[in-house]
């Protein structure tokens, strides 16, 4: 890398410490609850305030029109304005809480009477005389003194006999209503602020209490390492959601523990399998170098070493195949096959070995299927090799092919050999597993035949089953599914 270049991932060496800090779950829950409460309370307060304002406005308009009706009736009942003025005596100048002002003018705009000081608070120029026979309209005004007034103007009959009409102006001081609403808004604001603060604190405490189980779960998971995979997470009184996560983690730990155990057994068995050929190679080399050897002797040593190297190479290839198959890194090349033809090719290959042991190979039935030709033959080869190895003397290896629905196919390989006990059937698909009592029948076996066959069937989305009885033989069945059941990505690998 040039001196001026910088690493592509400078934060990778720091691990998770370089990860940007985010809001904690507790803080998120607390803020969500607080904001939800604030929005709800704001909505309720707004509705209450709007209802109060509407009710007060309605009462003001009702009071104003009641006053207009009452004053109009009184004026119409009297004939002389002076008498009306005396009778009213301005009793409607109002109380401290509800103040209203009255002004009466004739049709020409001349003042007949008005409440004391009304001209100073509500000059006549603020009012607009309505057209005759028009209904009264209410108007909100702000007087020179800055106070709020609700006003109305209406034509009334002063003396119906002479067709005299006058304009009645009534103004209601509603400043107190405005002050009530302002005070109510202030109290609502203070209540919302205090409620929001209290809700934030309460929500934080509740969220923190609710996430304690998550913190405990995290602490437990952090303590689990390769050396204590047997430990499991769990707790009393956990929420159901955290319990589901804990169960999922426990299942994952079960799989990990099983995988590590299998890996340890595989490593131990692999070490044992490799030790024998390596020891042979080392011994032959030491013997060859112990004294001068002829060319023929050295050639024999090299040939023997080549056999051991071939065994090691085959062992490494099989392990690599199993690893790639389990990790899903093996691509299938699917094609239409005739099971009988492919099986006979494998039988022909193992014919000399079977003939040497006096074992008869038979094949019956036929079927069409879709599979990877190389892997199909490899799986059959593993089963036929085992059937020959563990068969009885002069026994028979029976290969049966059955056509299923569509292009599904079943192939069974049966022998009449030593068989296996029921408690051993669950282990035969483990790598390097070999039944101790039958190891003498194949001293150089690796115990990878059935695991390879199972891995091939897994790649084809198929299955492998084994039926066996001690002393009566073993039958292994490969079930290939119809290609319609293959996942699209598997079919695309071909």
Is residue 268 within a helix (H) or strand (E), and if so which, with residue range? helix 240-290
Instruction: Label residue 316 by pLDDT band (50, 70, 90).
Output: confident
Query: Is pLDDT of 99 > 50?
Result: yes
Domain boundaries, the chain: 22-210, 240-324, 331-491
**CATH dotted code for 240-324:** 1.10.287
Q: Do domains 240-324 and 331-491 have the same CATH topology?
A: no
Domain 331-491 has CATH 3.30.565.10: yes
pTM above 0.85, yes or no: no
Buried b (16+ CB within 10 A) or exposed e, 446-482: bbbbbbbbbbbbebbebebebebeeeebbbbbbbbbe
What distance in Å separates the CA atoms of residue 226 and residue 426, rounded to the nearest whole number? 25
Q: Which CATH class is domain 22-210?
A: alpha beta
User: What secondary structure, in 3-state letters, does 283-346 show?
Assistant: HHHHHHHHCCCCHHHHHHHHHHHHHHHHHHHHHHHHHHHHHHHHCCCCCCCEEEEEHHHHHHHH
Of 180-189, 264-273, 277-286, 287-296, minimum mean pLDDT range: 264-273
pLDDT at 8: 44
Pairing of strands 99-106, 164-173: antiparallel
Summarised one tens digit per residue, pLDDT across range 420-464 is: 888 778 778 877 777 766 666 766 667 788 888 888 888 888 899
Instruction: Label residue 1 by pLDDT band (50, 70, 90).
Output: very low
Query: Is pLDDT of 85 > 70?
Result: no
Query: Is pLDDT of 131 > 80?
Result: no
Instruction: Label residue 377 by pLDDT band (50, 70, 90).
Output: very high
Q: Which two tokens stand for residue 423?
A: 């408690």
pLDDT at 234: 73
Instruction: Label residue 93 by pLDDT band (50, 70, 90).
Output: very low
What distance in Å separates the CA atoms of residue 194 and residue 70, rounded to the nearest whole number? 47
Query: Is pLDDT of 17 > 50?
Result: no
Of 4-13, 395-404, 409-418, minimum mean pLDDT range: 4-13
Summarised one tens digit per residue, pLDDT across range 234-269 is: 766 677 777 788 888 888 888 888 877 777 776 776
């Amino acid at each position: 890398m040039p001196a001026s270049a910088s690493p592509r991932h400078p934060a990778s060496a720091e691990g998770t410490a370089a990860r940007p800090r985010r809001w904690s779950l507790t803080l998120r829950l607390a803020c969500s609850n607080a904001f939800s409460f604030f929005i709800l309370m704001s909505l309720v307060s707004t509705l209450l305030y709007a209802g109060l304002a509407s009710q007060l406005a309605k009462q003001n308009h009702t009071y104003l029109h009641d006053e207009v009706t009452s004053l109009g009736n009184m004026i119409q009942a009297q004939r002389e304005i002076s008498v009306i003025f005396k009778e009213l005596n301005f009793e409607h100048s109002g109380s401290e809480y509800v103040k209203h002002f009255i002004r009466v003018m004739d049709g020409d705009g001349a003042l007949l009477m008005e409440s004391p000081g009304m001209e100073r608070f509500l000059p006549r120029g603020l009012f607009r005389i309505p057209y005759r026979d028009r209904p009264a309209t209410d108007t909100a005004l702000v007087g020179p003194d800055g106070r709020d007034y609700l006003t109305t103007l209406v034509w009334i009959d002063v003396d119906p006999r002479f067709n005299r009409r006058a304009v009645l102006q009534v103004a209601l001081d509603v400043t107190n209503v405005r002050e009530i609403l302002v005070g109510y808004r202030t109290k609502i604001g203070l209540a919302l602020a205090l409620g929001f603060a209290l809700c934030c604190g309460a929500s934080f405490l509740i969220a923190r209490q609710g996430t304690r189980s998550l913190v405990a779960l995290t602490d437990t998971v952090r303590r689990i390492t390769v050396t204590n995979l047997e430990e499991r997470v769990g707790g009393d009184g956990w929420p159901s959601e955290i319990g589901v996560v804990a169960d999922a983690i426990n299942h994952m730990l079960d799989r990990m523990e099983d995988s590590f155990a299998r890996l340890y057994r595989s490593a131990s068995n692999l070490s044992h399998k490799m030790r024998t050929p390596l020891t042979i190679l080392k011994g032959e080399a030491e013997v060859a170098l112990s004294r001068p050897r002829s060319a023929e002797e050295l050639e024999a040593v090299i040939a023997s070493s080549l056999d051991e190297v071939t065994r090691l190479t085959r062992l490494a290839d099989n392990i690599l195949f199993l690893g790639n198959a389990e990790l899903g890194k093996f691509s299938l090349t699917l094609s239409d096959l005739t099971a009988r033809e492919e099986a006979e090719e494998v039988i022909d290959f193992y014919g000399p070995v079977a003939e040497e042991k006096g074992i008869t190979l038979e094949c019956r039935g036929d079927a069409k299927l879709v599979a990877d030709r190389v892997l199909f033959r490899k799986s059959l080869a593993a089963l036929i090799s085992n059937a020959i190895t563990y068969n009885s003397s002069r026994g028979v290896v029976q290969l049966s092919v059955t056509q299923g629905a569509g292009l599904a196919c079943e192939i069974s390989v049966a022998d009449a050999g030593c068989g296996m006990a029921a408690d051993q059937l669950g282990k035969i698909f483990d790598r390097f597993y070999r039944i101790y009592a039958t190891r003498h029948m194949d001293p150089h076996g690796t115990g990878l035949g059935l695991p390879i066959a199972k891995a091939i069937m897994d790649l084809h989305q198929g299955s492998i089953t084994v039926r066996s009885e001690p002393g009566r033989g073993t039958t292994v069945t490969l079930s290939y599914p119809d290609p319609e059941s293959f996942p699209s990505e598997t079919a695309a690998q071909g």
